Structure 1
Amino acid sequence: MKLYSSLAAILLLSALGTDALAFDNPLVQQRADPHVTLHTDGWYYFTATVPEYDRIELRRARSLDALGKAKAQTVWRRHAGGPMSANIWAPELHRIDGKWYLYFTAGRHEAPLDIRLYVLENPAANPLQGQWTERGQLDTGWESFALDATTFAVHGQRYLAWTQRPPTTDKHVTGIYIAKMASPTAIAGPATLLTLPEYPWERIKFDVNEAPAALVKNGRVFLTYSASATDANYALGMLTAKEGANLLDKSSWTKSPVPVFASSEATGQYGPGHNSFTTTRDGKQRILVYHARNYRDIPGDSLHDPNRHTRAQIIRWRPDGSPDFGQPVSDNK
């Protein structure tokens, strides 16, 4: 019986692949706001915020576990002054209509927190090659603090989701917006505000809803976001809509009243958030990619602490078809 059980376990591992069960976390040291995509060429492409906030890096590997040892290539650096000269944050790499696009956040050297959304474009088959062209600011319809753009498609319609300060307030509050896209560099029509910080867990130190990420499965669109300060209080919330609903109608979305992913003393992981989603190589399992620290206390401003490391874990599913993110897994290296 023992031999049979061992053989069954080996066969299961072979069928699922090792990354279906666990990853060598943390995947990449000192890389926050991670974005991973598995392209049709069989490579996992990775980008993230670097601690210096001064450039955009790309790397690729055949497995998620290999990303940490993959060569990081700088594909763009901040300007010396003016737009795009400070706080280069949260790059995301997307393949749209045969070209690569990098969506990212940037401020100005003279006003580093006066941040906006920007786009780079590259027609090469491999985004680590070819020429990246600046396509300028992504206009959201009004000028205010804006960051963390992501894009996704449902039933052939592409959407942009992002974070921005509402045009009607001077308060330091950010919400999640959505709009249809007319092209990879422009939205079509007005934006819809989906959520603002309203629960106590979304308003610790700062009133923040930011960093949306979309997961489409089981007939629904799950839109995760991060809330509160970027320390141990950082946590994931989630909005849910039916796949066939009008995603530009706020009433189509249901908001979870509690965090769906948060710090865990049991596993020693704090401030998990700013996630993206990818899949196993066979496409059968969805993966949550996120950053977290392995300690709670941070002296000074948490944005100046470089140790938000990239991590990943398999998503489990509840009987009702909604994702169960569980708790952030322990470091295993």
Structure 2
Amino acid sequence: MMIVPSRDSARSISAGLMLMLAFAAWPVGQARAAPVKVTGVALKEAANELQVSIVATGPVRYQTRDVQPGWIVVDVESAQLGMPSGQLPLARGLVRRVRVGQFMTNVVRVVVELSHPASWRLSTSPDSAAILVGIPIQAKGRPIPAVAVPAQLPLPPAAPSATQPAPAAAAGALSDQTLINLDLRNAEISDVISALAKTANINVVTDSDVRGRVTIRLINVTFEDALRLVLEPNGLGYATVGPNLLIMRKDKLARPVLRQYQVANMSADVFQSTYLPVIQIKKDQVVVDTATNSILVVGTVEEQGKIADLLSRVDLPIEKATTRVVHLNYVDAAAFIDLLSTRLPDSA
């Protein structure tokens, strides 16, 4: 006996087949969205709170974790890290440090460490592409004491370790052609400079006048190019002072200052007449104080840095004098030899 389906049953079967075919033809890429990238973490001060912003390339989902008192731990799910991992140069108020890393294959973890446990709030931006962590500035109507920020110029270790090399000389970092990437949004300029210094492994001293916020995305640029792109649009410049890099406003860098240098192992007059011309310090910039065997120099910050570096290299006690190869940064080697041959007595 043949059973003929009713008209309603036929319609239902037809609709079900069409639905199954539609799902089978649905693109896999649309069914599973690509993971977002966490591209920046910044710290800024709002009206009544500090705000840590975790910025991504699209809407984010997140969970908070209770790891230990005084830590705010945010796990961004279905996400990849699109910025360097590790500790970020962010510290202010209750915030001691901020760390970011790829915690799991599809989870980016951001850890905000506070100086002591405190209340905080979590929200997202209107487009859900940023997570905002609000941390109070005041407690019971009184400002919360600011945490001490680490010095901008850390002392290098006594001996370089295998895992953490000693900071490189500033001049070497400026000539290094290694390419770096940096992606920060609405970050303090001083924090951006610190991040660059950490990438290049050099010491940087930032003047107190260096202020402002920048958004920057750099891909495959040298340290020197990255530094110029951050500094020049903001009226800033730099000078090398020994192994360190000094950042300040351009007008301040060009402003002459007076400094005194004590000469210990030679005559101050000899240092002024023999060595200072090598780095183009003019005689009318220098006064020799024979009573204290020192020199007083009027010059720019960059010139003062060259003098301090030169004095540290040549003003050595006789028992510490050694023979070595010296790389000259400011004069041609042949011209330097000619100058020395006219200034120094012949050896016996």
Query: Shared fold (TM-score greater than 0.5)?
Result: no
Say which one has the larger Rg.
2
Higher strand proportion, which one?
1
TM-score between the two structures when normalised by the length of structure 1: 0.27
TM-score between the two structures when normalised by the length of structure 2: 0.26
Higher helix proportion, which one?
2
Q: 1 or 2 for the larger relative contact order (CA 8 Å, sep ≥6)?
A: 1
